[in-house]
Copies of this chain bind each other. A is one copy, B any other.
Amino acid sequence: MSAEPTRALDDLSRLCVHTITTKPWSLEQAADAYAAAGIPSITVWRDALEGIGAQAAGERLRRHGLSVVSLCRGGFFPHVEEAARRAALDDNRRAIDEAAALGAPLVVLVCGAHPGQSLSRSRAQIQQGIEALLPHAEQHGVRLAIEPLHPMYADTRSAINTLGQANDVALAIGSDLVGVAVDVYHLWWDPALEAEIARAGRAGKLFAFHVCDWKTPTVDLLLDRGLPGEGCIDVRGIRGWVERAGFRGFIEVEIFSTKYWEMDQHQLLTRVVEAYRAHV
């Protein structure tokens, strides 16, 4: 279905790295190292704001010349108890506050699921939760991206497991503030992926693009992601689909890996840059 092969990226001008990728570093260490490596942008995980605060963090990142792509993460809307759903909304409003203070235009939503109720009920609660956040998001000018998660996380992390489902919810909500995040790790296996990326693009909903790789073997359900090129995902092919659908934003390297967190983080960052040039 592809017209022509997607070309390698000539430079780092579209590379973004998630703070979680270099989790052992403080935000300041990450900002220093990313800027020194010529990486122009950063996505900040909320744990990286501890001890510094969102506004001071934003100022520091801007001093380093780093664009802030998004704040990770809000979500986790479903629960069997209403009080817990209300608490989740409060936490999501705080995430929007933090994004605004940080200068992040986008909050990524890991939407949640609860093993004590059906996935369809959890999905309904997700949609209600996002709709309840809209006034707060609008007030702060912060967008929200629904990130579908791999089906192996359907018990507790997300009842939205395909891009088709994420598109359905985003389109049902029908707000310019709500779109989707495409992460190759979660979606690479889906035979409908190319078509759903095109659908998201036509609707103006492609808000974010995350890359890493699926290793063989994968020894941990959460913390064994690979660098692009290290696994079986056709990362460049999916980048081509995303770009043909109109996406021109940053390409975000987001890797959770016990193995990579144990190595020297400067060496890891060098490998991230090499993997980006060679395989994204």
Chain A residues with CB under 8 Å of chain B are 115-116, 118-120, 150-152, 154-156, 161-162, 165, 188-191, 214, 216-219, 221, 231-232, 234
Residues of B near A116 (CB, < 8 A) are 232
Given A115-B232, A119-B191, is A214 in contact with B150 using a C-beta cutoff of 8 Å? no
A sample of 26 inter-chain contacts (CB < 8 A) reads: A115-B216, A115-B231, A115-B232, A116-B232, A118-B234, A119-B189, A119-B191, A150-B152, A151-B151, A151-B152, A151-B189, A151-B190, A152-B152, A152-B221, A154-B188, A154-B189, A155-B216, A155-B218, A155-B231, A155-B232, A156-B216, A156-B217, A161-B189, A165-B191, A218-B221, A221-B221
- Number of identical monomers bound together in the oligomeric complex: 2
Shortest beta-carbon distance from A141 to chain B in Å: 33
Shortest beta-carbon distance from A154 to chain B in Å: 4
CA distance A154 to B150 in the complex (A): 12
Question: Considering the complex of A and B, which 9 residue pairs feature the smallest CB-CB distances, nearest first?
Answer: A115-B232, A154-B189, A151-B189, A152-B152, A155-B216, A115-B216, A155-B232, A151-B151, A161-B189
Interface of A is mostly: loop
CA distance A162 to B190 in the complex (A): 9
CA distance A87 to B165 in the complex (A): 40
Q: Are A214 and B165 in contact (CB under 8 A)?
A: no
Residues of B near A217 (CB, < 8 A) are 156
**What residue in chain B is nearest A187 (Cβ atoms)?**
B151
Residues of B near A234 (CB, < 8 A) are 118
Residues of B near A152 (CB, < 8 A) are 150-152, 218, 221
Shortest beta-carbon distance from A126 to chain B in Å: 13
Residues of B near A120 (CB, < 8 A) are 191
Shortest beta-carbon distance from A178 to chain B in Å: 20
CA distance A150 to B161 in the complex (A): 12
Interface hub of A150, A154, A191, A218 (most chain B Cβ within 10 A): A191
Shortest beta-carbon distance from A161 to chain B in Å: 6
CA distance A232 to B113 in the complex (A): 11
Shortest beta-carbon distance from A44 to chain B in Å: 27
Residues of B near A214 (CB, < 8 A) are 155
Residues of B near A189 (CB, < 8 A) are 119, 151, 154, 161
Residues of B near A115 (CB, < 8 A) are 216, 231-232
CA distance A165 to B189 in the complex (A): 12
CA distance A156 to B116 in the complex (A): 31
Other A-B pairs, 12, CB within 8 Å; known A118-B234, A152-B221: A115-B232, A120-B191, A151-B151, A151-B190, A152-B218, A154-B188, A154-B189, A155-B214, A156-B216, A156-B217, A219-B221, A221-B221
Residues of B near A188 (CB, < 8 A) are 154
